[in-house]
Structures are given as C-alpha cells and as structure tokens.
Amino acid sequence: MVSKKVMSYNARGLGCGEKKVEVCRLVNEKHPFVLCTQESKLNVVDDLLIKSIWGDDHCGYSYNRRWGFLVV
C-alpha cells in the first residue's frame, strides 16, 4: 500500500521570498502528494511560482482567486 500525504498550509504572504523558502522547506521535508495553501493576497500564480515551491515540473495546480486557494 502506498501512503499519500495531503498537506494544508495557511501561507499568509507567499509573495514574500521568506515564505516561499519556508513552504519549499516543508515540501522537501514532508514530501506531500498534494499541497493546499491558502493565500488570499497573491495576485499572480504561474508556473514559475509553482516550480519555485514544488521543486520540479512533475506537478499540476489550480488557483481560485476568489477563495485564494492554490492546490499543487
């Protein structure tokens, strides 16, 4: 049986470099299968941001500006 981790994180400032490093560190330590972050103040979510957090190209994401959720 394969274990799949789902991680939820209230980023509160993912546009800041320090927060990106913090979330990236958590991803590297915990190796979640799915990462859900709540970020209501982030205006732009693109492939570059996702790759900087996730660390590679093997991911997908969805962002809802109204609710402020990003799912990787």
pLDDT greater than 70 at residue 68? no
Q: Regarding predicted confidence, which is higher, 56 or 60?
A: 60
The tokens 């402020």 sit on which residue? 68
6-48 residue pLDDT tens? 888 888 788 778 888 898 899 899 988 888 888 777 777 888 8
**Using CA atoms, how far apart are residues 67 and 54, in angstroms rounded to an integer?**
21
Q: What residue segments make up the domains of the chain, in order of their start?
A: 6-71
